[in-house]
C-alpha cells in the first residue's frame, strides 16, 4: 500500500491513517483525543504543516495561514495563543523576494494575533524535492476555561453556530490555482479568531472547532461520530456566499466540505445561543454569525441536512480526495 493524496485531505482516509498507523506506533493518551490541540495542565500545544498551493492567493498566503491556523487551533480549545514556532522547508531556487514577502506577512499577522514567534528552523531541499516553500508552525497557549471543552458535555437541544460565510478559503485557493478556468473576486477568510472567541468562553459554549480541511461538514461529522445524539443542519440557514454558491453549482462541490480558515463551529447550550450570537456579531469576524443547526436525539452518530424542501439527507464524512493542498 502506498500513500495517496487523499490521506492528507482531512477526511476518512486521513483519520484511518492516524488511527491505524500513527496512534498504535506512538500515540499518547492526549494524542488519541484527536483534538485541535493537546491540553497539558494549564497549557495547550499544537502543530500544523502548511503546504498550500499556490503560496499566494487572494486574502492571504502560506505565512499568514501558518500563523492564523495555529492561533485558531489553540483558540478553539478555550486557550489564549501566546507563542509560536515556525519551521521552513525551502526548495532550492526559491526566490528570496517571495520568502521576504511571506516573512513580512508572518510578522504582521503575528502582531495582529498577539502572538510571539520565539523559535524556528530552516531547511533547504534540492530542486524537485519540495514546492517552493512549506511552513510548519507549532504553538503554545494558556487555557482560559476551568475545564477542557469537551464533546462529552454536548446534549440534545444544543445549538450549532458559525461565525459567517463558508467555503471562501477553499474557493479562493482553487481559483488561484488557475486550473478551473474560472475567475472570481472571492478572498480567503484566513484570520486569527482568538479575539472573536475569547468573549464567548463565559457564555455557555460547550465545544468549538475551526472548520478547515474537510469544511464544516468534516467538523460536524467528526463531532457526531460515535455519539448517541446527532446533528441536524438547516440548509437554508447555511451562510454560503454567492460566489461560493456559483462555483459549487458549476463544479458540483458541496459547500459543507469546502475549506475555511477563519470559521469556527461553536456548540452552545440551548437557550444561550442569543448571547453567543450577540457577542459574535459585535466582532468584525462574526458579524454574519448564525445558528446553522442543532443537536438532536434522532440520527445518533450522524449529521443530517434538512433541505430547503423539508427533506432530509445524511451527510457523509468527506473522503479527502476533493482538494489536496488546500492549507
Got the DSSP string for 175-234?
Answer: HHHT-S-------------HHHHGGGGGTTEEEEEE--TTHHHHHHHHHHTT-SSEEEEE
Residue number with CB closer to its own copies (71 or 295): 71
Cβ–Cβ < 8 Å for 100, 88: no
Q: Does 6 bind its own copies (CB under 8 A)?
A: yes
Query: Cα 289–196–34 angle (5° rounding)?
Result: 90
Asked if 67 and 192 count as a contact pair (C-beta separation under 8 A), the reply is yes
CA dist 267 and 56 (Å) reads 33
Nearer to its own copies, 77 or 290 (CB): 77
Q: Is 120 exposed, middle or buried (0-12, 13-18, 19+ CB in 10 A)?
A: exposed
Task: Output the smallest distance, CB 254 to its own copies, in A.
Answer: 21
The one among 68, 71, 77, 88 contacting its own copies by CB under 8 A: 88
The C-alpha cell 483534538 sits at 35
Residues 122-161 within binding reach of its own copies (CB under 8 A): 122-126, 128-131, 134, 136, 138, 140
Residue 221 CA: distances (Å) to CA of 59, 151, 169: 28, 13, 20
Cβ-based nearer residue to its own copies, 10 or 262? 10
Binding of residue 310 to its own copies (CB under 8 A): no
**35/243 with CB nearer its own copies:** 35
Q: Which of residues 234-273 bind its own copies (CB under 8 A)?
A: none
- Residue 51 or 233: which CB sits closer to its own copies? 51
Does 323 bind its own copies (CB under 8 A)? Our answer is: no
Provide, rounded to whole angstroms, the least separation between the CB of residue 163 and its own copies: 23
To its own copies, the closest distance from the beta carbon of 326 in angstroms equals 10
Interface with its own copies, residue 179, by CB under 8 A: no
List of residues 6+ apart from 189 with CB closer than 8 A: 59, 164, 165, 168, 169, 260, 261, 262, 263
Is the peptide bond preceding residue 111 cis, with omega within 30 degrees of 0? no
- Residue 57, interface with its own copies (CB under 8 A)? no
| Residue in the block written with cell 453549482 | 249
The reply on whether position 43 binds its own copies by CB under 8 A is yes
**Interface with its own copies includes 45 (CB under 8 A)?**
yes
With CB under 8 A as the contact rule, the residue among 55, 68, 77, 110 that binds its own copies is: 110
Using CB under 8 A, pick the residue from 64, 75, 113, 120 that binds its own copies: 120
The smaller minimum CB distance to its own copies, of residues 30 and 298, is found at: 30
169 vs 213: CA distance, rounded Å? 10
**According to the binding rule CB under 8 A, does residue 31 interact with its own copies?**
yes
Binding status of residue 103 toward its own copies by CB under 8 A? yes
90 binding its own copies? (CB under 8 A)? yes
By C-beta, is 140 or 231 nearer to its own copies?
Answer: 140
Q: Which three cell numbers stand for residue 90?
A: 525551502
Amino acid at each position: 500500500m502506498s500513500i495517496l493524496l487523499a490521506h492528507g485531505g482531512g477526511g476518512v482516509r486521513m483519520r484511518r491513517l492516524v488511527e491505524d498507523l500513527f496512534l498504535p506506533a506512538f500515540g499518547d493518551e492526549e494524542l488519541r483525543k484527536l483534538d485541535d490541540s493537546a491540553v497539558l495542565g494549564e497549557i495547550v500545544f499544537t502543530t500544523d504543516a502548511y503546504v498550500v498551493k499556490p503560496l499566494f492567493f487572494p486574502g492571504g498566503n502560506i505565512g499568514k495561514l501558518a500563523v492564523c491556523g495555529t492561533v485558531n487551533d489553540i483558540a478553539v480549545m478555550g486557550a489564549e495563543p501566546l507563542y509560536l514556532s515556525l519551521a521552513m522547508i525551502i526548495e532550492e531556487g526559491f526566490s528570496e523576494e517571495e520568502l521576504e514577502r511571506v516573512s513580512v506577512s508572518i510578522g504582521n499577522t503575528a502582531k495582529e494575533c498577539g502572538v510571539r514567534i520565539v523559535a524556528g528552523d530552516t531547511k533547504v531541499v534540492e530542486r524537485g524535492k519540495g514546492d517552493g516553500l512549506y511552513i510548519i508552525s507549532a504553538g503554545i497557549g494558556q487555557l482560559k476555561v476551568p475545564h477542557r471543552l469537551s464533546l462529552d458535555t454536548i446534549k440534545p437541544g444544543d445549538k450549532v453556530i458559525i461565525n459567517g460565510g463558508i467555503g471562501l478559503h477553499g474557493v479562493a485557493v482553487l481559483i488561484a490555482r488557475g486550473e478551473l478556468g474560472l475567475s472570481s473576486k472571492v478572498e480567503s477568510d484566513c484570520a486569527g479568531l482568538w479575539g472573536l472567541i475569547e468573549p464567548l468562553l463565559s457564555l455557555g459554549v460547550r465545544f468549538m472547532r475551526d472548520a478547515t480541511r474537510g469544511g464544516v461538514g468534516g467538523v460536524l461529522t467528526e463531532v457526531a461520530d460515535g455519539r448517541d445524539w446527532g446533528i441536524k443542519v438547516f440548509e437554508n440557514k447555511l451562510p454560503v456566499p454567492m460566489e461560493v454558491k456559483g462555483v459549487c453549482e458549476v463544479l458540483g462541490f458541496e459547500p459543507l466540505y469546502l475549506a475555511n480558515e477563519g470559521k469556527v463551529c461553536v456548540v452552545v447550550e440551548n437557550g444561550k445561543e442569543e448571547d453567543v450570537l450577540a457577542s459574535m456579531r459585535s466582532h468584525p469576524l462574526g458579524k454574519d454569525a448564525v445558528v446553522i443547526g442543532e443537536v438532536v436525539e434522532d440520527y445518533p452518530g450522524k449529521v443530517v441536512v434538512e433541505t430547503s424542501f423539508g427533506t432530509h439527507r445524511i451527510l457523509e464524512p468527506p473522503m479527502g480526495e476533493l482538494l489536496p493542498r488546500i492549507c
